[in-house]
Chains A and B, each alone.
Chain A
């Protein structure tokens, strides 16, 4: 059952990823992006990370709902229209060739490596240590969140009145 679901999600990821990259319309690309992220969260469920899959799906759905609700009418129309946003065909072909070669080399090297099994000492590594051993991580996340919130406030500021 694990293998069946893995290959189903793999097929969905490959299909949605290719549509996302090579689709001519941005709306098709956005819809395939949602399918792609849902398939990735399916892989998370297979890997015993159900909490993060659920949180990711919730955040994705809330983000899309907020975008559709609070954006102006013209913004959604701009996304839905046919937009020729691609670079010339020659550059696209060269980029596809280079990225395919690099991807093939990287994937073959990494996937053919015999990864060592790491033994984890659960007495030392536990989630209970998140406020002692991993306190620096919490502080860094707080700083990062504050920076992101400040940038969001800067982005969403009201426009200055112009004469």
Chain B
């Protein structure tokens, strides 16, 4: 079966759902950050798919560039926040419900 634009959209939907579950279903701050990154990566795949299947649309490439930059900066900021949280509390568990 030839891979078309619908296949890429399906992949991005799957990645978004996995990221949503990872961000909402865990208390570890690193897993929450990874989930948010996955949720941000899903629309980038959509932009790349629509851009790639439309004869290298430059507007799509510009949006990919901006969104990728935001995604990478969020990743670095999240890791630094996690490290700062660990430095102050000694753990990387988010406070909250603890009846696991």
Binding site for B on A (CB under 8 A): 2-3, 6-7, 10, 13-14, 17-18, 20-21, 26, 29-30, 33, 36-37, 40, 43-44, 46-49, 52, 55-56, 59-60, 63, 67, 71-72, 74-75, 78-79, 83-88, 91-92, 95-96, 99-100, 102-103, 106-107, 110-113, 115, 117-118, 120, 122, 125-127, 130, 134, 137, 141, 144-145, 148, 151-152, 155-156
Contact = CB atoms under 8 A, between A and B. Distances in A.
B84 A155 contact: yes
Given A59-B72, A85-B93, A103-B17, 18 more contacts: A17-B18, A18-B18, A21-B21, A21-B25, A26-B30, A43-B8, A43-B48, A48-B51, A52-B61, A60-B72, A75-B92, A78-B92, A79-B30, A79-B92, A86-B26, A95-B21, A102-B17, A106-B13
A80 to B, nearest CB: 11
Interface residues of B, number: 70
B93 A83 contact: yes
B28 A85 contact: yes
B18 A20 contact: yes
Contacts, number: 190
Interface string B37-52: 1100100010011111
A126 B62 CA distance: 10
Q: Is the contact region of chain A dominated by helix, strand, or loop, or is it mixed? A: helix
Contacts of A10: 7, 11
Q: Is the contact region of chain B dominated by helix, strand, or loop, or is it mixed? A: helix
A30 B38 CA distance: 12
A17 B42 CA distance: 12
A152 to B, nearest CB: 6
Interface in B72-100: 72-73, 75-77, 79-81, 83-84, 86-87, 90-93, 97, 99-100
Given A7-B3, A33-B34, A48 B66 contact: no
A156 to B, nearest CB: 7
